[in-house]
Amino acid sequence: MGTNVLVVDDHPTTRLGLRAALAGEEDVSVVGEAGDLETALCLVGELGPDLVLSEAQMGGEVAGVCLCRELKETTNPPRVLIHTARNSCRDVCLCYMAGADGFVHKGEQAHRLVDAVRQVDRGKRVWLLGGKPQEVVSDPGVAVEDLLTQKEEEVLALVLEGYSNSRIAEELCLSCNTVKTHLAHVYRKLGVSGRKDFFSTGEDVGVGNG
């Protein structure tokens, strides 16, 4: 059985491009598209998509994040995969806190996006954060030194996929102590105290556990 996708983006050309990227996949079907929050909510109710592929920011507002949050408060919500060019630490954290099931930076290749759609629909958490996180233009107070390093970004992506510290260490060929150090930096920069701030279960394996 294929994956029915609702595409949400305020740029018609982007929606067209996403349709084209998904059109050739036998197991993925775009059942509708929306350019704003209200239309997206209506179409989710009407079409019942398996997955919503949404931009995080629309019309200068974080409408995609609000959409995600509202959908996740409903009964049997669809999976939500954020597809955006905004990948600052705060943007990524905001999407996660809203309940997004995955995140794909718009700089990623089309085949990686398609693969992420499949994996997220199957229940896997996929966080492809793209290159070096960008500064938040609307918040000039964000300093360059507060952005995640490449290694911190890699560690965060695996944390968001539910990996334990020991598994992250194995995946990235690091020691557990190094992983804990990177996590400490990530938590500080994102303004969170530990995994309990990411996961709704409240489980916290923190920077001091494997």
Q: What is the pLDDT of residue 169?
A: 93
Q: What is the pLDDT of residue 196?
A: 67
At position 53, the amino acid (one-letter code) is L
Q: What is the pLDDT of residue 167?
A: 93
- Tens-digit pLDDT profile for the chain (210 aa)? 689 999 999 999 999 999 999 998 999 999 999 999 999 999 999 999 999 999 998 877 788 888 998 999 899 999 999 999 888 777 887 888 788 999 999 988 999 999 999 999 999 888 888 765 443 333 323 333 456 777 887 888 788 777 899 999 999 999 999 999 998 888 877 766 777 666 543 333 333 344
Are the C-beta atoms of 117 and 22 separated by less than 8 Å?
Answer: yes
Instruction: Write down the pTM of the prediction.
Output: 0.67
Are the C-beta atoms of 81 and 104 separated by less than 8 Å?
Answer: yes
Going by C-beta distance under 8 Å and a sequence separation of 6 or more, which residues neighbour residue 66? 37, 98
Q: Which of 188, 195, 199, 198 is nearest to 209 (CA)?
A: 195
Q: Indicate if 148-210 has the same CATH topology as 3-138.
A: no
Q: Which of 99, 160, 163 is nearest to 126 (CA)?
A: 160
Could you give the 3-state DSSP secondary structure of residue 129?
A: coil
Q: What is the pLDDT of residue 199?
A: 54
Q: What is the pLDDT of residue 198?
A: 60
Q: What is the pLDDT of residue 129?
A: 82
Going by C-beta distance under 8 Å and a sequence separation of 6 or more, which residues neighbour residue 45? none
Domain 3-138: CATH architecture, name and number where available: 3-Layer(aba) Sandwich (3.40)
Are the C-beta atoms of 169 and 176 separated by less than 8 Å?
Answer: yes
Round to whole Å and give the CA distance between 55 and 35.
10
Task: Kindly report the CATH number that applies to the domain delimited by 148-210.
Answer: 1.10.10.10
Query: Domain residues of the chain, as ranges?
Result: 3-138, 148-210
Per-residue burial over 134-152, b = 16 or more CB atoms within 10 Å of its CB, e = otherwise: bbeeeeeebeeebbbeebb
State the distance between the two ends of the chain, measured CA to CA, in whole angstroms: 38
